[in-house]
Amino acid sequence: MRIPEPFVLPIIVDNSAPITINAQIVEQIKLLIATGELHPGDALPTVTQLAKHLGV
């Protein structure tokens, strides 16, 4: 049985930004929570899934 993948988060990273990719991801997830796009109990992608999606 295949486990369904969590939805893809609308996160974009900028390799030329002065902050680390990790910090960019954290800030964008915080924004998704603050704007109500992420709710308690929402599934998040694994590190591997997120890295693959972001191409890092």
- How far is the CA of 40 from the CAs of 2, 15, 35, 36, 45, in angstroms? 24, 30, 13, 10, 14
Q: pTM for this structure?
A: 0.78
Q: Determine the pLDDT at residue 37.
A: 92
Domain-by-domain residue ranges, the chain?
A: 1-56
In this model, does residue 4 exceed pLDDT 70? Answer: no
Q: How sure is the predictor about 43, in pLDDT bands with cuts at 50, 70 and 90?
A: confident
- How far is the CA of 12 from the CAs of 4, 21, 24, 31, 53, in angstroms? 22, 10, 8, 13, 10
Average pLDDT over residues 3-20: 82
